[in-house]
Structures are given as structure tokens and as C-alpha cells.
Chains A and B, each alone.
Chain A
Amino acid sequence: MLGHRHSSLWHMILAPTVWAVHFCVVYGWTAVQCARAGGPDAARTGVLIATAVALMAIVVLGWKAWRQWDYLDDFDYVHDQPTTEHRREFLGHAGWLLAIVSAIGVGFNALPAVFIRSCL
């Protein structure tokens, strides 16, 4: 389904997908812990674990995208030629940028667990 990463739009959006999954997991986990069981400490621990996992996944995806972008071979960041190489590097570049924004998003989403200690 995903196809080869060099020519796949799906690979490009994997990092933001990790953000989305992380978001749903921390929201759902917190809702259940605060409403049904566990309480704030369980909620916060879970959020921090989920964040660590998500960040690791994003780092891996970002690294792969960086390799695909292959910036250091020609220092190209425009990718406007009609070639397979430019298309591959473009998808890598966009994927890398999305990984950065996703990492920021995941990091932001962990901050509540750092600052807020109760379910109130």
C-alpha cells in the first residue's frame, strides 16, 4: 500500500501521522485515566511515555527523509526539474520539514503533562 518511499506521498505524511496518533493516544488515555481509573499521575506518566515513543519514531522518519532529500550532495532545495531525482528529493525535503513540525507538535503536546499535576 505504501509503495516505495522515494515515490510515495504516504511516506511523506508519516511523521504528521505519528503526531496525529500521539495526539489521539494522549487525549484518549488522559480522558480514560481522569474519568474512569488511574488519576492524574497515571495520565501524566502515560503521556510522557507516549511522547518519548512518538519522538523516537519521528526522529527515525526524519532521518530517512533527510537521507532521501540528500541535501548535501548538491545543496539543492528547490527541486524544480522534471526528473526522478528531483521528485525523490522533493518528497524527502517535504517529509523532513514535516518531521520537524511534527516533532515540535509532539513536544508541545507533552508540555501539559509537565505543568499540570491534577485532573481538575
Chain B
Amino acid sequence: MSAARPGLLCAALLLSACSGEQSVLAPAGRDAEVLATLFWWMLGGAVVLWLLMNGLFFYVTRIRPQALSPRAAEALIIGGGIVFPTVVLAALLSFALSEMPKQREPGENLTVRITGESWWWRVDYLPEGSDTPIASANELRLPTGQRSELKLNASEVIHSFWIPALGGKTDMIPGRETRMSLEPTVPGDYRGQCAEFCGESHALMALAGVVMTPGDFAAWLEKEAAPAAIPTSAEALRGLAVFNAEGCGGCHAVRGTEAAGTVGPDLTHLGGRVTLAAGILPMERDALIRWIRDPEALKPGARMPGYDHLSDAELSALATYLEGLE
């Protein structure tokens, strides 16, 4: 598919850009590419058919042709209503059916278990041959050049996992394990978002999708598997003290420290992530402080309590410590 045609059509649809990090039409994975191409073909066909049908209607109602014989009209019903759609739909259906197993092929080498929580994502990497999962959250990193397997689950309510640039979505259902596989092709940052309504802050449950070259990915995974960085600066150490004093470890885990909670997201390499609070804030110091002070204001119904009783200095120190967990 050449770039020109989609570009033209986009312009026709008064569209600022087909690109965008969460767009179906800016694919960066094998499945999404096929589906984007399929879409443009279907759109072309649909536009032609729409014009034919409505043009015909306009012609017979407004231009007033010679009245047609009933037999010719009957032929129109047979041709337009039965024969043509049967052929076209059979072809489209055959393509769709043959594509479906390709997009659902089992992944190799890497399995990632993703669990939908309210309203964030628990992400555990299970590389081939490793026995302990590498825990992370709210960010999915995948290598190019291979099909990776995703195992999906949910803790309380139904969610749906979706990174449009890489491929279709699959629901995450409590009590069931669903699966899908993705084959990214272009390294870069993409955005995903929960697609099944999951309660009050459904709109605020996004996910960073990061596609890396196989080499970069292997290096990153190795780092991700390692325990947390030990704080060195005095500010960061003060932050660690606040972290412990406030009992953050009751809910959050920071591997290599005594914090081993599993209720909330794993924070071991929090500072190394692209976004904060499930894709709704940039990974910045100010954002961290705002979030810790009052999560409810940023994400209605969020389970994490607010820490507005902490002083600015304490919050600042805490943010320094967390930012340092790269």
C-alpha cells in the first residue's frame, strides 16, 4: 500500500493526520498493517457501492427515467440483492477467515502475562526458559522481529487490552485466561488504552507500548529483571525513609528492598518507565508529586489513598527516590 492513497483519503476526511501514537491507521506491527490495508480496500469498495446505490436512488426519484419493465426490475433485485453480494461477501469472508488464524498464532520466545486491575495494568514478563516472572506495570515492551505471546487476565472486572498500532484487542475477563499474540515491526513508542468499559475511571486506563529492536529489548529485560537501584543522594535516601514510614511497601513492591506489596503496581523500575499512573501522566517529578498527594483528583475512584498530609519537602524527597528507581 502506497502512502499516497491513504494520505489523500485522510485529507478528504478533514483529518489532521493519520498518524498518532494510538491510531489504527498508523500501524507498527504485522497484524495492524494487514488490517489497515484491509480497511483502505474495504473503504474504497464501500464508497463505490454507496455511490452506486444512492446514485441509482437519486436517478430513479429525481431524474425520472422511462419506467422500467417489471421483469427488468426483478432482475435488478436478483443481481443486486443476491448474486453480487453473495460473491463479494464470500470473497471478503474467505480473506477474513484465513487471516484470523495468522493473527492468533502462538507467540515464541517471550510470553507476557498482563492482568487488568482497577485502573492499571499488571505486567509480568516470562522469557523462554526463565522460571520467575519479571514484574512490571503499566508498560509493555516488546521486541521487533518475533511474535510474542500475551496471556491476559483480570482481577475484578472485565477490561480489554489494546495497542492499536500493533494489532487488535482482546478482552481480559476475571476467572478466565484469554490470549493473543503481537508481532511488532517498527521500534517506537505507542499508546494503548483499555477498550472495555471498566468503571469510573475507564477513560484513564492507558498503557505505554514500547517496541524495541531485539538487542535493545534483551538489554532492557536484563535490567528490568535486576533489583532496584540503591539510592545514593541524601534527598533520595530521605525519600526512601518517607516511603518506608508511610507504609508504601504494604501495597507496592520494590525488589531488593523490604517493600513487597502486591496490591498496587510494582515500582522496582518506576523511573525507567515512560508514563505514570497508567499512561495518564508523564514520568516527571511534578507529576509524581501531584499523583501521590491526591490520586483521586487525577483518577476518580483510584484505590491509592492520598498523601496530602506529607509536607512539600517530604513529597519532593519521595519523588526523588522514585524517579531514581530506573
Chain B interface size, as a band, is 10 to 19
A8 to B106 Cα, complex, angstroms = 52
**Chain A residue contacts of B70, Cβ below 8 A:** 78
Give A115's nearest chain B residue, CB to CB: B97
Instruction: Assess whether B100 is in contact with A116, with CB atoms less than 8 Å apart.
Output: yes
Give B180's nearest chain A residue, CB to CB: A120
A77 to B46 Cα, complex, angstroms = 32
Give B93's nearest chain A residue, CB to CB: A111
Instruction: Assess whether B104 is in contact with A115, with CB atoms less than 8 Å apart.
Output: no
A12 to B65 Cα, complex, angstroms = 37
B52 CB to closest chain A CB, in angstroms?
A: 22
**Contact pick for A111, options B82, B94, B105, CB 8 Å:** B94
Give B104's nearest chain A residue, CB to CB: A120
A98 CB to closest chain B CB, in angstroms?
A: 12
Known: A77-B74, A120-B101, A120-B106. A115 touches B86 (CB 8 A): no
The number of residue pairs between A and B whose CB atoms lie closer than 8 Å in the complex comes to: 32
Give B98's nearest chain A residue, CB to CB: A115
* B67 at the A interface (CB under 8 A): no
* B90 at the A interface (CB under 8 A): yes
B223 CB to closest chain A CB, in angstroms?
A: 33
Give B106's nearest chain A residue, CB to CB: A120
Instruction: Assess whether A117 is in contact with B101, with CB atoms less than 8 Å apart.
Output: yes
Instruction: Assess whether A108 is in contact with B106, with CB atoms less than 8 Å apart.
Output: no
Instruction: Assess whether A112 is in contact with B97, with CB atoms less than 8 Å apart.
Output: yes
**Chain B residue contacts of A118, Cβ below 8 A:** 101, 104
Residues of A at under 8 Å CB distance from B? 77-78, 100-101, 104, 107-108, 111-112, 114-118, 120
Instruction: Contacts A115-B100, A116-B100 known; list 13 others, CB within 8 Å.
Output: A78-B70, A101-B82, A108-B90, A108-B93, A111-B93, A112-B97, A114-B97, A115-B98, A116-B97, A117-B101, A118-B104, A120-B104, A120-B179
Residues of B at under 8 Å CB distance from A? 70, 74, 82, 86, 89-90, 93-94, 97-98, 100-101, 104-106, 179
